[in-house]
Structure 1
Amino acid sequence: MTNNSTNSTYLRSSQAYKPTGQEIATFGAVHLDVTDLHRSVEFWQAYIGLQVRSATAESAELGTESSTLVVLHATAKTPFRNGYSGIYHLAIHPSNEVEFARVLARLITKRYPISPTDHTMSKAIYMEDPDGITVEVTLETPERLARLELSPRGPIAVDTDGTVRAASAALDVEAVLKVLPDHDLTRPLADDTKVGHVHLYVSDVEAAHRFYKGLGFLDNMYLPQYGMADLGAGGAFGHRIAVNAGHTRGRPQAPAGTAGLRYYTIRFDTPERLKMALQSVSSAEEQAGGFLVTDPAGNKVLLTASLGQDRGPI
């Protein structure tokens, strides 16, 4: 899995993540606890481009015309707090360059603070929601990545054309915006937009890695010495669930009432795959929308094989 040299160590090679061509699972709705429902709805609608699918005084479902991607619950008393296990960021994945460029243009026009980043395997826009929860909008570009390496300067990405750049380099914003065919920045995200990956803070990388491997996810990068692990679901994009403990090793979940992750949803492609995943966990609470489990860091996950709206526990 590694190829040691004097300058670098390969993190990804033909011996590492091997796409099978079929994703064993996708993501359903991500549920967040927020302090101000109206303010959070405005963020997801006006800045990200999701549509309000339903709303009450206590919660709101947002997504595309046919799918709920994010559910907000007005239950938090304090903003997000760093240094605890929980959500690192959730990522909304538009399906093509134009959709991604429209989000970027909208955020720039509205002067929302962002960090446009080129990971080679993806193009990303990072920002924080009104409570300080990190949100990523991601365009998947795995076809550009030949390998990731560790060097004395830190992680580097090698493109398929030989270009070497930092694993998190500055995004060429002008090049992204050139693909926009119009200046309509009010258009909501298209129906094929999805939650494409979830990145978590955990207290123990080894334990979290075992848990998600047990659910059926596949190694992309496993670097416990650096406090991180990354797993794919079988498709070309190997970054579906990632865990980090660089600043949270041994740390619990944030105190009750803190804004952050309530739970997120994994949809397995078959009932048989769901059954196998459930056999790997120590306990599961059956819900109307599936089975609620908890990873070793206390992050809650709703496991289902349903194609419904993943309402699950409220």
Structure 2
Amino acid sequence: MEEKFFKSPNTYIGRVKINVQDLKRSVQFYQDVIGLQILKQTKRNAHLTADGSSVLLTIEQPDFVKPIQASATGLYHFALLVPTRKDLAKVLHHLTKIGIRLGASDHLVSEALYLSDPDGNGIEIYTDRNSENWIWNQNRVKMAVDPLNTNDLLSELENSDGQGLPAHTKMGHIHLHVAELQTTQTFYEALGFEVVSRLGNQALFMSTGGYHHHLAFNMWKGVHAPSAPEDSAGLNAFSIIFPDNEKREIAAHLLDALDYPVIKDPEFYRTEDPSGNKVHLVVEKT
């Protein structure tokens, strides 16, 4: 993991908040299967951490919560970035040992495992290859969806000890279902992100600072797919972290000019992208 992509002067993804149908079930899953720890828990939500101090994921059980809406926009997956290939090998060993059904891909820039939580919220756990070996062509990074060589990955293990995600795990990126790509691109460009890859007219990848992607969007739920109800399982909100307040203010001004209202709460600014995904604009802590 290269820290430079997740600190000033870059803008990147912070904590993700999801809705679930059964908080107790989800807390157990994220502890026992994913390896996160509880930082704080109430009757309705739990804040989960890898390092014991910063929140990566908040899970919440709304009143009268509905299942994830199959045809709506929202979360495709959030992606937990582990520091080393050996860390990913430990995750693979653990998930295989407990019988979790997995997907796995080699994206050239990274190696990734995929699974879902009990509500169907998508999760990616991945590690990056050295950015010096990423292939760029005219500001576009080369990525692929090749089979992951799991045997080679597991050869990183010296033993099977160790459970839980390493303390330096980060929220590497988030991938969303959206209703339309061009308006989505315009919205997130106002926040400072640049297009780094496309998958035809179906998917779009954006980042700051030359990362392979902090954000991804697809239209696999269909063009003009509706927004998910607020009381359904799935994405509640996610945070975008700005390096300083000046850059956040510029972004807020640009969104206002595009007719996307920004509500300036003391803790963070709140807005919604064109597909109704809730976005919190946060300034990096120094």
Amino acid in structure 1 at the alignment position of 2:147: A
Q: How does 1:1-314 map to 2 (within 5 A)?
A: 24-64=10-50, 65-75=52-62, 77-141=65-129, 142-146=131-135, 167-186=144-163, 188-222=164-198, 225-235=200-210, 237-282=211-256, 283-307=261-285
Partner-residue secondary structure (3-state), 2:183: helix
Structure-2 residue corresponding to 1:311? none
| C-alpha distance in 2 between matches for 1:58 and 1:90 | 21
Shift of 1:44: 1.3
**Alpha-carbon deviations, 1:269-296, whole Å to 9, x = none?**
1111111111111211122321011101
Shift of 1:247: 2.6
Shift of 1:147: 5.3
Partner-residue secondary structure (3-state), 1:243: strand
Shift of 1:22: 6.4
Shift of 1:190: 2.0
Q: CA RMSD in A?
A: 2.2
Q: Is the 8 A contact 1:226 1:246 kept in 2?
A: no
Q: Is the 8 A contact 1:200 1:243 kept in 2?
A: yes
74-83 or 109-118, larger mean C-alpha shift:
74-83
| C-alpha distance in 2 between matches for 1:22 and 1:266 | 13
Amino acid in structure 2 at the alignment position of 1:211: F
| C-alpha distance in 2 between matches for 1:255 and 1:300 | 12
Q: Is the 8 A contact 1:22 1:234 kept in 2?
A: no
Shift of 1:192: 1.3
**Alpha-carbon deviations, 1:7-31, whole Å to 9, x = none?**
xxxxxxxxxxxx9x96521222100
Amino acid in structure 2 at the alignment position of 1:250: H
Number of positions where the alignment pairs a residue of Structure 1 with one of Structure 2: 271
TM-score normalised to structure 1 length: 0.81
Partner-residue secondary structure (3-state), 2:196: strand
Identical columns (%): 30
TM-score normalised to structure 2 length: 0.88
| C-alpha distance in 1 between matches for 2:65 and 2:276 | 20
Structure-2 residue corresponding to 1:8? none
Partner-residue secondary structure (3-state), 2:99: coil
**Alpha-carbon deviations, 1:248-281, whole Å to 9, x = none?**
3101112342211110001111111111111111
**Alpha-carbon deviations, 1:120-179, whole Å to 9, x = none?**
11100010110011110011124443258xxxxxxxx68xxxxxxxx2121111111111
| C-alpha distance in 2 between matches for 1:266 and 1:37 | 25
Amino acid in structure 1 at the alignment position of 2:250: M
Structure-2 residue corresponding to 1:3? none
Larger radius of gyration: 1
Shift of 1:304: 1.1
Partner-residue secondary structure (3-state), 1:45: helix
Q: Is the 8 A contact 1:66 1:191 kept in 2?
A: no
Q: Is the 8 A contact 1:105 1:185 kept in 2?
A: no
Q: Is the 8 A contact 2:111 2:148 kept in 1?
A: yes
Amino acid in structure 2 at the alignment position of 1:230: F
239-248 or 202-211, larger mean C-alpha shift:
239-248
Q: Is the 8 A contact 1:92 1:196 kept in 2?
A: yes
| C-alpha distance in 1 between matches for 2:238 and 2:77 | 12
| C-alpha distance in 1 between matches for 2:132 and 2:70 | 34
